[in-house]
Structure formats: structure tokens, C-alpha cells
Chain A
Amino acid sequence: MNLLRWLVFAVAALAMNFPVIATLVTSFKSEAEIASNPSWWIQAPTLANYAGVFAMADRFDVLHYLWNSFASALLGAGLSLVLAFPAAFALVRFGAGRRWLMPLVVNLRAIPLIVFAIPLYLVYARVGLLDTKLGLALILCVVNLPLVLILLAAALRDLPVELDEAARVDGASTFTLLWRIVLPLAGPALATTMVLGFVYAWNEFLFALMLTTRDAVTATVGASFFFAASGGGVRWGAAAAVMMLSVLPPVVLGLLLYRRIGQSLAAGAVKG
């Protein structure tokens, strides 16, 4: 029975991670080998695809795309935390906005993002936010808010209310309390939420596709450029290398923090 369980686990893990594994394998084959040997083994492992991708910075600046992803995801996730943390505290401790803010933000999770993408494109074009990291970060913050608010509210709900009361007796104002007592105690939850928000923002595609064209293009959108090439055909090896580079940061974060992330996601889904 246990052997059967291990077998099921192995098949499930392999099938679900298959695209990443197969792309990783391809990224170590030369273009010639990819064409002649599409199988899952590598005859002559090479780093030529990775070297090649970095060498064509004049047409395809992969470092720039990775930096754009990193900066806008970090900014977007950070901003969502800054906005949601005081709001979550007010929600949990004072019940402020429980009737309208919480439902509004949580339901945002269910609304197709394209609804906001077109008007934002037009507004961004007017105010000069189109194709900027800041513009992208602002909307990535919106995308993250439902998850971030749910996770922070859940974390703050778990903090003992006696601490608040003790601080109040000592004469602390709401803001002292928030800054000196609650923030340090909620630190681990904030860190997990930040990581999750970063991963979600890094992986977001629709807004990056629509709102960036050159300067602020992200890694996921950049990877898609390889497939858009018409005429000359797709350079599969280079495409595989770019995809591996784009997938690395969120996957490494996921591996490092799988336990906390798993718990948060499960809690967030049910409490939301």
C-alpha cells in the first residue's frame, strides 16, 4: 500500500512539474540537437543557449527584463503590504470597513482583470505611466490586494487582543501600538505575505503584456517574444533558456518557503 502511495506521488509530482523539467532539459541542448533529438535525454550538454541569450542584449535584453520583473514585483508587493496592513488592523480590531471594504477587495479576486486593463491603458497613456515600472507596480498591487488583505487579517486575528489592551493601559496611541507592538509580532506573517505577493506579481502576465512595450517589459512577456518571431522560426534552445531564467526566482522562493506558503494559501482560501 505504501509502495502504491509512493508511486502515485512520483507520477503526480512528475506530471505536474513536467513542463519545467522538459524545458530545463531542452535548455541544455544545442539548437541542432533539439531539432534532431527531441527526446528527454541530452547527448551533449551545453550552456550555449544561456550564453547566447545574454550575448544578444542589443535586441533582447534579458537582464533588463528580469530587473523589470524584479523591481515592479517588489514594488507592487511592498505597496500592497503598506496599504493593507493598517487596513487589516482596523478591520480586525475596530471592525471598520467590515461591511464594504473587505467584501469589495475579496470579490476583486473574482473579477476578470481585463475589465480594468483597457481603461487603465487609456488613463496610463494620458498620464505617462504606460511602459513604466511604477505604472505596472501600481496595478500589480491591486492584483495582490485580495490575497494580502485576507492573509494579514487572518494573521492579526490570531494575535492575542490582551497585548493591545496592555499597551492601551500604558497609554499607547493606536499608531504607537501598531508600529511598536503589532508590526513586530506580525513580522513572520508579513514576510510570508510579501513573498507570496512577489511571486504572484512576478508571474502576472496580462497587465505586463498590455501596459509595457519596451522600457518596462517583464521576463514573462519577454519570453513570449521568442515565440512571436515569424518567418525565421522559433529558436527553441534560446526560448527554453529564457523561460528557465524567468521561472527561477519564484520557484526558488517557493522551495525555500513551501511550508509557510502552503499553510497561508490553504488558510487564505478557506477564510476568504
Chain B
Amino acid sequence: MSTAHARDGRFLLAPLTIFLLAMLGLPLAVDLIYSLSRVEFATILSPQFVGLENYGQALRSESYWQAAWFSLRFGLIAALAQLLLGLFLAIFLAPLIDKRPWLLAFLMLPMMVAPALVGLMYRLILHEFVGVVPWFLFTYWGDSPSFLGPDNAFTTLVVVEVLQWTPFALLILYSAYAAVPAEVREAAAIDGAGPWRRLWAIDLPLMAPAMGAAFFIRFIDGFRVFDNVYTLTGAGAGGSTTTMSIWVYQAFFKSGDIGQAVAASMLLLAASWLVLALVHRVSERRA
């Protein structure tokens, strides 16, 4: 690379770099300072240094760990379900979609709907008096579970998340399935491999990177979830559906304890970093 190119390159990167510094660097600095201070809305300009007290408080709080456990479980279970369901649909429906690509439009549509709206829509649909799902269950089955009650809220949220985002996994896996070279499949068929054997020995191994990517992206999004959980259960059901993001939000807006909210968000950032580093290491070893 010539020096002229290096200079041009720096020049082309400059706007984005400056923007990121302002929009991310500044907030992170504020996060760091306030997480080490005792500070409320009234004392916003005179934070009082208290060291790691806020971090200790968050880590000793039972509700924070409950939220962490919720987010982790939610992310893992929902991502796994989306991966398996998306894999099944991608492979089983491939013959239909290959010939009629417009079918994809119907399967992709849920991803265009705001998760916050999806949460609100399910509040309507699952409502015990005006909702169509309880009405259906009462009419044809005689009983309906309390979908948003403490016992069922977690399952309901997972199902809602899976129904909205399985299309994402489906889309990635369908592309990966379509990219498997036809010659490899044909060669295996000539060698006498049946459909199941071809699936296990050829398609799935070749689709593994796409499966990893789909699972990871859906896990991360589930782990940091806010919108649909907040609008569907309002973190209600006895606090049993508080995700980590919602915990931080409530510490800030409802308790006004800025120091602790920010310390908790820094811990959340560290946890995400850990996950990223772990995934990076695994994917590098495989490559």
C-alpha cells in the first residue's frame, strides 16, 4: 500500500471514527465515571467518588442475578429452538421455495415488524377477555392457561421470540443449503447414499458455519432482549420476567439510582464481551 493510499484511507475513515468516538466513547466515559460514584438526578453534576461500591451493590442484589439468569436462559433456549425450527423449515421447504421464491416473502415478514409492537400485539391476542387465543381455547377446549401469569410468562415469551425470529435462522440456513454444490450431492447419491445419509454426511457439515452464525446472532439478541419482553409483560409477573436490560432501565428510571444502574450496565457490557471473546476463540480454532 502506497503512502498516498494510506493517507486517503485515513481520510475516508475519519468521519466514521469521529462519529463513533462522540456517540460511543463519550457515553462509555460517562458510564465509567458514574459507575464509581454516588449520583442521583439532583446531584448529576457533582458525583461523589465511592470506588466499587455500586458494583458490589449490584452483584449482591438478588434481583440482578435473577435477571442475569433469565437473560441467559431466554437467549439459549430461544436461539436453540430457532435454529432447529429454522433448519427443519429451510430443508423441508427448500423444494417449494426453489421454484417459488415469493413464498419467502411470507416467511420473512415477521422480521419487518418491530419487536415492541409484537409484544403489544400479543398483549391483545392473549388477553383473557378480548384475546383470540384464550377465546379459541375456552370455546374448543374449555380452559385456557394464564399465558402471562408467573408460571407461564417465560414460556410465552420464548414462544413469541421464536415465532418472530425463526425466519432469520430460516433465511440464513436456506441460503447455506442452496449453496451446497449439487455435484457433491449427486456424487454421494451415485455412491448409494440415501437422503438421510446425504443430509447427515454432506448437507449438515457444510451448513455448520451458517448454523453457528444463526445460533450466535439469535443468542446475543435474546441475551440483550428488551423490547418485546418490556411491552408484553412489562417485566411483570412478579418480576420474574426482568431481563438484564430491563433491570438496568428500571434502576435508572424507577429508582433513580444512576450509579448502580450504570455499574450494572458495565457488568452487562463485560458479560457480552466475555461471550464475544469465547465465540471468537471457538470459531478461530475451527477455522
Contact = CB atoms under 8 A, between A and B. Distances in A.
B109 interface: yes
B124 interface: yes
B104 A259 contact: yes
Interface stretch (B55-63, B148-156, B220-228): B220-228
Contacts of A240: 124
Contacts of A86: 12-13, 15-16
Contacts of A119: 26-31, 34, 262
B107 to A, nearest CB: 6
Interface string B165-195: 0111001101110000000000000000000
Interface in B263-283: 265-266, 268-269, 272, 275-276
Interface string A29-72: 00000110011100000000000000000000000000000000
Given A12-B107, A16-B164, A205 B115 contact: yes
Interface in B3-25: 5-6, 8-10, 12-13, 15-17, 19-20, 23-24
A16 B96 contact: no
A8 B130 CA distance: 29
A107 B276 contact: yes
Contacts of B28: 115-116, 119
Given A83-B16, A90-B10, A123-B30, 19 more contacts: A2-B95, A5-B95, A16-B109, A16-B110, A95-B9, A96-B9, A97-B13, A109-B217, A112-B265, A115-B265, A122-B30, A141-B19, A199-B112, A203-B112, A205-B114, A221-B116, A243-B120, A254-B111, A269-B172
Interface of B: 1, 5-6, 8-10, 12-13, 15-17, 19-20, 23-24, 26-31, 34, 44, 89, 92-93, 95-96, 101-118, 120-125, 127, 129-132, 134-136, 139, 163-164, 166-168, 171-172, 174-176, 209-210, 213-214, 217, 220, 223-224, 226-227, 230-231, 244-245, 248-249, 252-253, 258, 261-262, 265-266, 268-269, 272, 275-276
Closest 5 interchain pairs by CB? A96-B9, A203-B114, A254-B112, A119-B27, A205-B116
